[in-house]
Amino acid sequence: RLDEARRAVAVAQAQRDSARAQTLSVADAGADLAQAQAQLAVAQAASAAARARRAQAEVRAPADARVLLREVEPGQIVQPG
């Protein structure tokens, strides 16, 4: 999802840059620029949300340790406690 969000940001930035170039050659391209900037803002928000979800998915130990026993398998749903 983070890669998709990054690609969306890159596409939105390219669209914004294209709209800016069109604005220089066409006086009526202000709406295109505003739309591209809005799409860029949406893509950046999606990228930030994906980074936040990824950060929440990381499991970190409070101290250095070694795992001696694994009581669950990857993919299993677990409860706290």
Is 65 part of any domain? Answer: no
pLDDT tens-digit readout, 6-37: 888 988 889 888 888 777 776 665 677 788 88
Is 41 part of any domain? Answer: yes
- Predicted pLDDT of residue 36: 85
pTM: 0.46
CA distance linking residue 80 with residue 49, whole number of Å: 25
Secondary structure of 2-49 in the HEC alphabet?
Answer: HHHHHHHHHHHHHHHHHHHHHHHHCCCCHHHHHHHHHHHHHHHHHHHH
Is 13 part of any domain? Answer: yes
Supply the range of the domain harboring residue 26.
Answer: 2-57
Q: In a 3-state reduction of DSSP, which class is residue 80?
A: coil
What's the domain count of the chain? 1
